[in-house]
Structures are given as C-alpha cells and as structure tokens.
Amino acid sequence: MAIVKCKVCGEEIEETIPKCPRCDSLGPKRGKKIRLILLCVMVVILAFLGLGFYLKMNEVEKPYEEVLKEKLDAKLSQRGLTAMLLLRSRLDNPDSMQLISSIANEDGSVLCFEFTETDVSGKKKKSRAAFVDGELNRTEAGWRLFCVGKSMRPITVKKQPM
C-alpha cells in the first residue's frame, strides 16, 4: 500500500483509508471520485440546457397580429354557431336547414346567414337571416340594411346536429 500525505493537514496516511484520522477530510482517492462524479453531472446538466436552448431557438413564434386574428376568428365562429342554432330553433323544419354562407362584421355584432330550408308544404327555398346585436331579422329589408354592401368577412360555422 502506498502512503500519501493528507491534502488538508499534511498527515501521512495510507491511500486506501476513507478519511484522515487527524482532520476527518476525505481520503485521497475518494475526493477524486466525488469531483469526477460532480463534473459529469454538471456536463450532463449543461448539455440538457444547451439542447433546450437550441430547440427553443428553432421555434417560430407567431406574430402578435396573427394571434389576434386567430382569437377573433374563434370568437366569430362561436358567435356564428350560437346564432345558427338559434335560427334553427325558429324554423318550421329545423332538420332541413343547410347553411350556404355566413358572414360577420369585424366585431361580430352583425351576423348574416344564407341557407336553404324546407317549408311546411315540403318546398325547398333559399332564405336569409341577419342577427344584429343578438336579435334575429329574417326580412329582405333587414338583409339589405345590415348585410349588403357592408364591410363583412366570411366566418366558419361548424355544423352541429340538433
């Protein structure tokens, strides 16, 4: 067995002893092992941090305007669905309704629908309806007043069975 000096107090001790009998410091080999383990753990942590940073850099963030547009589209779609369900409930034959087009103004206070329906006699006809601030208007004059020639945008309404 080799005899080495303690790195803390300078006492001559055997290389295999886990602690110095004089100052209780770790033995020469054990201290090296702990430092090597700590170094490996730090390298692994740094590698994970570097990988995470690299992956984050490659993500493309949406511009603020695009996020706002998506939120507005979702809001208008939800309002359109609500209005369409209300419109369906007021028809003579709700199951016959087939949506042709739906448009809305920018803030969603005006929603306009074109659709086909089957009337009481069984004839299929094309109809129009406008929702203005939550009120239903099925007259042709209301359609012209609120929907024709206005700044409107198409909205997507997911059809749901009644």
What are 93-150's pLDDT values in tens digits? 888 899 999 999 988 899 999 999 998 888 999 999 999 988 999 999 999 999 998 8
pLDDT digits (tens, 9 = 90+) for 20-44: 888 887 765 555 677 888 899 999 9
Q: List CB contacts of 15: < 8 A, sequence separation 6 or more.
A: 1, 2, 3, 4, 27, 28, 29
Angle ∠(79,157,101) on CA atoms, nearest 5: 110
pLDDT of residue 1: 65
pLDDT exceeds cutoff 50 at 18 = yes
Between CA 100 and CA 113 the distance in angstroms is: 8
The model carries a pTM of: 0.57
pLDDT exceeds cutoff 50 at 162 = no
pLDDT digits (tens, 9 = 90+) for 52-61: 888 877 767 7
Which secondary-structure segment (H or E) carries 3? strand 3-5
The SS3 assignment for 45 reads helix
Contact between 90 and 100 (Cβ < 8 Å)? no
**Average pLDDT score over residue span 74-102:** 90
* Per-residue CA distances from 97 to 66, 80, 101, 114, 151 (Å): 33, 15, 12, 10, 26
pLDDT of residue 30: 57
pLDDT of residue 15: 77
**Average pLDDT score over residue span 72-90:** 90
Q: Which residue has the tokens 């659709």?
A: 115
Strands of 15-133 (E only): list them.
98-104, 110-118, 124-132
Q: Which of 116, 69, 112 is nearest to 93 (CA)?
A: 116
Across the chain, mean pLDDT equals 86
pLDDT of residue 159: 60
Q: Say how many C-beta atoms besides its own lie within 10 A of residue 112's C-beta.
A: 25
**Average pLDDT score over residue span 151-161:** 79
